[in-house]
């Protein structure tokens, strides 16, 4: 029997599902999925429609709420909610440096991980939907990469959907990873420039830290090798609503005086390794560029190659002059598999995924052009993680899709905005606004 328990204002039920590893081989190997069912305490006995939440990432389990936090409060007013841990994440069958050797060597691991993209996630949803809803369609809320999955859902199984809500996650239908990162680096630079405008004292602080790291190449307590490129990658936080402030507070106490002179403080190192480590979400690093693979062209470490076209991000050149150091953002690089002890055993596996040339298309433009599912999407102006121009182009390609373009929020608007964002988007799917 499923385990049911309570938190303030909600009743929770642990749901476990068995699905094919490869949906094209339904009689073959299986994996386990986990989902947390959430219903308002005062509606626990009611027959309610379902909403399934697809987390951003890739590689993150569904958010662990306490009670009716954030958007969940709005959803629980009318839905039962399934917080799904997508395959390989959270409490579902894990995929990490500890478990992947069970598959065999790097080649076998890469073949396994090729089955962890949006297409498989949507087929998982359709596999479990009859068990959850009795066969009725459900509403999907896709955040970031969860929105990519939602557009695939609309492309392949719209009959499973009552409505679709997307927040910060309208992907390009045909862009190669190179196109994604050519659009990304200028956005990242704008976010860094805005950060320094808010906190001008961080210009010198960032340079001092980078110069120290370049000279000393410190190893953090976890075994993470802190390079100047790794330090720059802390800029990934700048895409969130509180990211600029978080980065500022991190930089302001980087050094401590010792008998040997200034060194990076233990507190700084502890926070940095928590931000940089992929131990809790290795799939993010392993399959991040693969989510853009749709043809016979390899992704081939796209973010690393494209970065060479933007020399302003070269820390060594910056430090040789007097300009501000640029942080980077949502990009995955081969050096991460050297720096991070959670990724080192998987470097060859990652390289094989980067070289892969048999990716299948993820979106069906013709089917999207005839879409009949009510869809609403929040598009965040100058979103650091998902290109606004790509999102709006896709919005125009999906019949009936309504957009809410706003600069009130950053990429995490559905969380930071509380119930407000979800409430507006649900109303848009019903033509109530």
Burial of 123 from C-beta contacts in 10 A (0-12 / 13-18 / 19+): buried
DSSP one-letter string for 272-302: HHHHH--TT-HHHHHHTGGGG--SSS---SH
The pLDDT-based confidence of 329 (bands split at 50, 70, 90) is confident
Q: How many domains does the chain have?
A: 2
Return the percent helix, strand and coil in the chain, to nearest 5: 45, 15, 40
Which H or E run includes 349? helix 347-355
Assess whether 268 and 409 both reside in one domain: no
Please write the tens of the pLDDT for every residue from 337-373. 999 999 999 999 999 999 999 999 999 999 999 999 9
**Furthest C-alpha separation in the chain:** 70
168: left (phi over 0), alpha (psi -120 to 50) or beta: left
Q: Is 222 a catalytic residue?
A: no
Helices (H), 145-251: 145-156, 177-198, 201-216, 228-232, 243-251
* Residue 232 and residue 323 in one domain: yes
Give residue 295's pLDDT.
87
Together in a domain, 51 and 137: yes
The confidence band for 433, taking pLDDT boundaries of 50, 70 and 90, is: confident
Range of the domain at 140: 4-174+363-429
Q: What is the pLDDT of residues 84-113, one digit of tens each?
A: 999 999 999 999 999 999 999 999 999 999
Q: Compute the mean pLDDT over every residue in the chain, rounded to the nearest whole number.
A: 97
| pLDDT over threshold 90, residue 379 | yes
Domain stops at, among 303, 324, 355: 355
- Residue 144 a catalytic site member: yes
* Cα four-point dihedral sign 356, 394, 381, 306: positive
Instruction: Name the band, by pLDDT with cuts 50, 70 and 90, for residue 168.
Output: very high
Same domain, 182 and 147: no
**Which position among 144, 244, 277, 391 bears the catalytic label?**
144
User: Domain boundary at 322, 355, 388, which?
Assistant: 355
- CATH number of the domain to which 163 belongs: 3.40.50.1820
Q: What is the mean pLDDT of residues 407-419?
A: 94
Last residue of a domain, one of 355, 385, 403: 355
The string of pLDDT tens digits covering residues 270-325 is 999 999 999 999 999 999 999 999 988 999 999 999 999 999 999 999 999 999 99
- Which of 24, 358, 431, 432 is catalytic? The answer is 358
> Contact, 181 vs 331, CB < 8 A?
yes
Instruction: Please indicate, yes or no, whether residues 341 and 391 belong to a single structural domain of this protein.
Output: no
Is the pTM here over 0.75, yes or no?
yes
Q: Note if 411 is an active site residue.
A: yes
Question: Could you tell me if 104 and 227 lie in one domain?
Answer: no
Residues 258 and 396 in one domain: no
**Same domain? 169 vs 212:** no
3-class DSSP state of 152: helix
pLDDT tens per residue, range 224-263: 999 999 999 999 999 999 999 999 999 999 999 999 999 9
Contacts of 182 (CB under 8 A, 6+ apart): 306, 309
Show Cβ contacts of residue 1 under 8 Å, excluding neighbours closer than 6 positions: none
CB 204 within 8 A of CB 252: no
- The reply to whether 239 and 341 lie within a common domain is yes
Is the domain of 158 the same as that of 266? Answer: no
Say yes or no: 311 and 384 in one domain.
no
Same domain, 191 and 154: no
């Amino acid at each position: 029997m499923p385990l049911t328990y309570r938190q303030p204002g909600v009743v929770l039920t642990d749901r476990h599902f068995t699905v094919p590893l490869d949906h094209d081989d339904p009689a073959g190997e299986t994996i386990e999925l986990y989902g947390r069912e959430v219903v308002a305490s005062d509606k626990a006995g009611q027959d309610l429609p379902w909403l399934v939440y697809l987390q951003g990432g890739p590689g993150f389990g569904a958010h662990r709420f306490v009670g009716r936090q954030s958007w969940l409060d709005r959803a629980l007013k009318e839905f039962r909610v399934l917080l799904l841990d997508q395959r390989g994440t959270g409490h579902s069958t894990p995929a990490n440096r500890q478990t992947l050797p069970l598959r065999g060597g790097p080649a076998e691991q890469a073949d396994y991980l090729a089955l962890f993209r949006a297409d498989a996630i949507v087929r998982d949803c359709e596999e479990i939907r009859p068990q959850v809803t009795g066969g009725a369609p459900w509403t999907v809320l896709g955040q970031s990469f969860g929105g990519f999955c939602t557009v695939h859902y609309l492309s392949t199984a719209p009959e499973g959907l009552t409505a679709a809500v997307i927040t910060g996650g309208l992907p390009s239908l045909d862009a190669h990873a190179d196109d994604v990162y050519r659009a990304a680096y200028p956005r990242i630079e704008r976010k860094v420039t805005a950060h320094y405008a808010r906190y001008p004292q961080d210009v010198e602080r960032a340079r001092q830290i980078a110069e120290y790291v370049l000279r000393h190449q410190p190893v953090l307590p976890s075994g993470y090798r802190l390079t100047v490129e790794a330090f720059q990658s802390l800029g990934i936080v700048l895409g969130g609503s509180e990211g600029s402030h978080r980065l500022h507070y991190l930089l302001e106490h980087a050094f401590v005086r010792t008998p040997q002179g200034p060194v990076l403080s233990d507190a700084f190192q502890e926070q940095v390794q928590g931000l940089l480590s992929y131990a809790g979400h290795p799939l993010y690093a392993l399959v991040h560029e693969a989510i853009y693979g749709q043809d016979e062209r390899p992704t081939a470490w796209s973010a690393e190659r494209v970065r060479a076209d933007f020399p302003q991000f070269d820390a060594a050149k910056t430090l040789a002059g007097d300009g501000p150091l640029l942080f980077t953002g949502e990009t995955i690089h081969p050096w991460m598999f050297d720096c991070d002890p959670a990724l080192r055993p998987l470097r060859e596996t990652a390289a094989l995924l980067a070289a892969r040339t048999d990716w299948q298309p993820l979106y069906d433009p013709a089917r999207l052009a005839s879409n009949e599912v009510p869809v609403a999407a929040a598009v965040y102006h100058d979103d650091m993680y998902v290109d606004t121009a790509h999102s709006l182009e896709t919005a125009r390609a999906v019949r009936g899709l309504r957009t809410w373009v706003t600069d009130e929020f950053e990429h995490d608007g559905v969380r930071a905005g509380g119930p407000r964002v979800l409430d507006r988007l649900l109303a848009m799917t019903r033509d109530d606004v």
